[in-house]
Amino acid sequence: MVEYKKPGPDPQDKAAYVRAMFNSIARRYDLLNTVLSLGRDRRWRRFAVGASGLTRGGRGLDVACGTGMLALEQALVVGPRGLVVGLDFSGEMLAVARRRLAAHPQVRLICGDALTLPFPDDTFDAATIGFALRNVADVPRTIAEMARVVRPGGRVVSLELGLPRAPFFRQTYLLYFKRLLPLLGRLGVGCDGPYRYLPASVLAFYTPEEISGFFGAAGLKGIVCYRLDLGIATVHVGTKG
Question: Do the domain assignments include residue 16?
Answer: yes
Question: Do the domain assignments include residue 136?
Answer: yes
Q: What are the DSSP calls for 91-102, one per residue?
A: HHHHHHHHHHTT
Domain residue limits at 18 = 11-163+207-240
Mean pLDDT of the chain: 88
Closest CA to 111 of 95, 122, 124, 127: 95
Question: Do the domain assignments include residue 4?
Answer: no
Question: Do the domain assignments include residue 196?
Answer: no
Q: Are 23 and 90 in contact (CB under 8 A)?
A: yes
* Per-residue model confidence (pLDDT) at position 206: 95
| pLDDT-above-90 percentage for the chain | 64
Question: Do the domain assignments include residue 25?
Answer: yes
Residue type, 121: D
Q: At 17, which helix (H) or strand (E)?
A: helix 11-25
Classify residue 87 as left (phi > 0), alpha (psi -120 to 50) or beta: beta
In terms of DSSP bridges, do strands 150-161 and 233-240 run parallel, antiparallel, or are they unpaired? antiparallel
Helix orientation angle between 69-78 and 91-100, rounded to the nearest 10 degrees: 40
* Per-residue model confidence (pLDDT) at position 128: 98
Domain count, the chain: 1
Flag whether pLDDT at 6 surpasses 50.
no
Closest CA to 203 of 237, 160, 159, 157: 160
Q: Residue 28's domain is classified under what CATH number?
A: 3.40.50.150
Flag whether pLDDT at 4 surpasses 50.
no
3-state secondary structure of 223: strand
| pLDDT-above-70 percentage for the chain | 89
Looking at 6-10, 12-16, 179-183, 217-221, which range is the least confident one? 6-10
3-state secondary structure of 226: strand
How many Å is the maximal CA-CA distance in the chain? 48
User: Any idea how long the chain is?
Assistant: 241
Average pLDDT over every residue of 68-96? 97
Task: Please write the tens of the pLDDT for every residue from 22-34.
Answer: 877 777 778 767 7
* Per-residue model confidence (pLDDT) at position 98: 97
Q: Where are the beta strands (DSSP E) in 119-213?
A: 124-130, 150-161
- Higher pLDDT: 25 or 87? It is 87
Question: Do the domain assignments include residue 176?
Answer: no
How far apart (Å, rounded) are the C-alpha atoms in residues 219 and 241?
Answer: 7
Q: At 235, which helix (H) or strand (E)?
A: strand 233-240
How far apart (Å, rounded) are the C-alpha atoms in residues 6 and 99?
Answer: 35
Task: Please write the tens of the pLDDT for every residue from 154-213.
Answer: 999 999 988 888 888 888 888 877 777 777 666 655 555 667 777 788 888 999 999 999
3-state secondary structure of 111: strand
Question: Do the domain assignments include residue 198?
Answer: no
3-state secondary structure of 206: coil
Question: Do the domain assignments include residue 190?
Answer: no
Flag whether pLDDT at 11 surpasses 70.
no
Non-local CB neighbours of 9 within 8 Å, separated by 6+ positions: 17
Distance linking the first and last C-alpha atoms of the chain: 20
